[in-house]
Amino acid sequence: MAKPTPTLPQPVEGAQAFGHALGEIWKSMSGLKLPADRINQVQSDYLKQATELWNDTLTRMNSGLATAAAAAGDAAANPAGTLAALRDRRFAATEWAKSPAAAYIAQTYLLNARTLMQMAEAVEGDAKTKARLRFAVQQWIDAAAPSNCLPLNPEALRKAIDSQGESIATGLRQLWNDVRQGHVSQTDESAFEVGRNVATSEGAVVYENEFFQLLEYKPLTAKVYERPMLFVPPCINKFYILDLQPENSLIRYSVEQGHRTFVMSWRNPDASLAAKTWDDYIEHGALTAIAAVQDITGADTFDMLGFCVGGTILSTALAVLAARGEQPAASLTLLTTLLDFSDTGVLDLFVDEAAVQLRELTLGEAAPAGPKLLKGQELATTFSFLRPNDLVWNYVVGNYLKGEAPPPFDLLYWNSDSTNLPGPMYCWYLRHTYLQDELKVPGKLTVCGEQIDLGRIEAPVYVYGSREDHIVPWTSAFQSLKILSGPKRFVLGASGHIAGVINPPAKKKRSHWIGSTDPVPASADDWFADAQEHPGSWWTDWSAWLAQHAGKQVAAPKSYGSRTHKVIEPAPGRYVKQKA
């Protein structure tokens, strides 16, 4: 007796409808052109693959091999390669392979996704328009995954049955909690507290104004280098990404290497700072911090490090000082920093004249109701949707459909601890760097009353880029070498914007590349072609380089601050605890 065939969507009519719909969608989009021969080819390929998928599914069900082959991932018995598609981690659970209907839905979704991206790639237009189209299509594809929908997710349904509905109830409670807090939970935020189990390096606040607190850390060695170290972190995040846990803290590592370490902790702006400008952040932020370190330590020159936007701020401040005839940097380290904004990767998709003008009219000095804050959650959401499957839908499925609480993870706790930005400051940065790429042009910009030229910074520079960085492409970080004039070293680390930077040697993870920069190669690719890969963290290479510029060893100070800069409160201070 023949086995009954489960009810599945009829493929031919569905595939034809989808194929014709694709053509109509693209025809209706003004300004976009897709060659007719390309439309026909994509539609033909789609119908062929959809038919093969359907026939393969029917054959397996009727032969009784579907469940076994799917569970085993038997690619050899699957010449069309359809079951191999379930290796996509969204469909990796055995429930997807065990159910012929679920497997068919997942495979059809992946086929549709590939087809949509093929059509997006084939559209005729300028590079930015095509990139925006690809991004928009990818966002839609990721959102439309059947794994994101409870009735179509067999893993979530099985969990609901096994838990007698408790997983759904838990998911609804977690959804309501996230609605109240205003963002999707990526970790168990109750497991962490700033100053208790993150940002725990011992130190004190030795200076503060309305923009930042200056932290000095307790020496861990009997002697320290005579030239101190100042860290300038990004103001779009909290500083403690550099001090998550003792075992992965770059701040603690710096102290352990014998550097008297100071760190800026930017204030999380409230309405009282909504009108502050880029000049304010340079003058009352980085320039004031440099002067405070000089006053506390008596060192005219010292080592400085800027991370991401902090590196852009620090470099701008040093260019202002260079215009005033001052060279306080004994060395300059830039971590995943942009000075050349000609290629900003995926972020470029969000920036054009219309978008910047809209920001200026709603947040900046030209706003009818006055300047406003750019809310931290808006920034956090934007960055999350640069990697939606990893940072959004993964948690939607886990938190809400399966009712699973996300595990504690210090980095994701930091990632959810968002910060506001003053509208005018943000708008200036957006226009003059991302849109007009003027920071690298000598004399083009006036900051704090000075025409700035980054090339006048004389300090030796250590530039670090992360190979898989989607926020600061490493090839763009490399371009800093062509802007700065001092002796240069460039190091490329594995992984991304954060994980590549926060890579302590003890973990023995990842690798880094070192190549010659004397002279600076014509392109980043030329540099990489001759670079040598080294196992493990780049921190040890940086430490050895930094020691060459830190001066002689002297007795470590026995107290924080100085007579003119008394201790205000213990580190990490109250500014970092302010919520957006």
- Is 361 in the same domain as 504? yes
Verify cis geometry, omega within 30 degrees of 0, for the bond prior to 460.
no
Asked if residue 151 and residue 93 are part of one domain, the reply reads: yes
174: Cβ–Cβ under 8 A, 6 or more apart, which residues? 185, 399, 400, 403, 405
List the catalytic residues: 308
Of the candidates 413, 462, 202, the one whose C-alpha atom is nearest the C-alpha of residue 314 is 462
| Residue 446 and residue 360 share a domain | yes
**Residue 177 falls inside a structural domain:** no
Tens digit of pLDDT for each residue in 363-417? 999 899 999 999 988 888 888 888 899 989 999 999 999 999 999 999 999 999 9
Question: Where a domain ends, among 108, 139, 162?
Answer: 162
Average pLDDT over residues 471-500: 96
Is residue 250 domain-resident?
yes
Average pLDDT over residues 467-491: 97
**What confidence score (pLDDT) does residue 380 get?**
85
Is residue 385 domain-resident?
no
Q: Are residues 366 and 440 in the same domain?
A: yes
Q: Which of 136, 162, 188 is the last residue of a domain?
A: 162
Residue 368 located in a structural domain: yes
Residue 85 has pLDDT above 60, yes or no: no
The number of domains in the chain is: 2
Is the domain of 147 the same as that of 225?
no
| Mean pLDDT lowest among 36-50, 81-95, 109-123, 338-352 | 81-95
Specify the CATH number for the domain of residue 345.
3.40.50.1820
Q: Which two tokens stand for residue 527?
A: 């540099």
- Whether 178 and 186 have beta carbons less than 8 Å apart is answered as no
Report the predicted TM-score, pTM, of the whole model to 2 decimal places: 0.88
Cα radius of gyration rounded to whole Å, the chain: 27
Q: Are residues 99 and 233 in the same domain?
A: no
pLDDT band at 554 (very low <50, low <70, confident <90, very high): very high
Structure tokens, 477 = 């970080």
Q: What domain range includes position 369?
A: 203-375+420-577
Segment 7-50, tens digit of pLDDT: 444 444 444 444 444 444 444 444 567 777 888 888 888 899 88
Do 463 and 480 touch, CB atoms closer than 8 A?
Answer: yes
Is residue 145, in this structure, part of any structural domain at all? yes
- 497 by Cβ neighbours in 10 Å (0-12 / 13-18 / 19+) ranks as buried
pLDDT band at 82 (very low <50, low <70, confident <90, very high): very low
Please spell the DSSP secondary structure of 238-249, one letter per residue. Answer: -GGGGSSSGGG-
Q: Is 37 exposed, middle or buried (0-12, 13-18, 19+ CB in 10 A)?
A: exposed
User: Looking at the structure, do residues 346 and 476 belong to the same domain, yes or no?
Assistant: yes
Kindly state whether residues 283 and 156 are assigned to the same domain. Answer: no
Residue 549 lies in a domain: yes
Q: List, in sequence order, every beta strand (DSSP E) within 349-427.
A: 373-374, 421-422
Q: Among residues 135, 70, 134, which one has the least CA distance to residue 100?
A: 70
Are residues 448 and 324 part of one domain? yes
pLDDT at 63: 66
Residue 99 and residue 235 in one domain:
no
221 and 366 in a single domain? The answer is: yes
pLDDT digits (tens, 9 = 90+) for 197-239: 999 999 999 999 999 999 999 999 999 999 999 999 999 999 9
Residues 267 and 331 occupy one common structural domain: yes
The beta strand positions in 397-517, using DSSP E, are 421-422, 446-447, 450-451, 461-466, 488-493, 511-514
From 146, 162, 178, give the residue that closes a domain: 162
* Residue 333 resides in a domain: yes
Name the β-bridge partners of 451.
446
**Residue 408 covered by a domain:** no
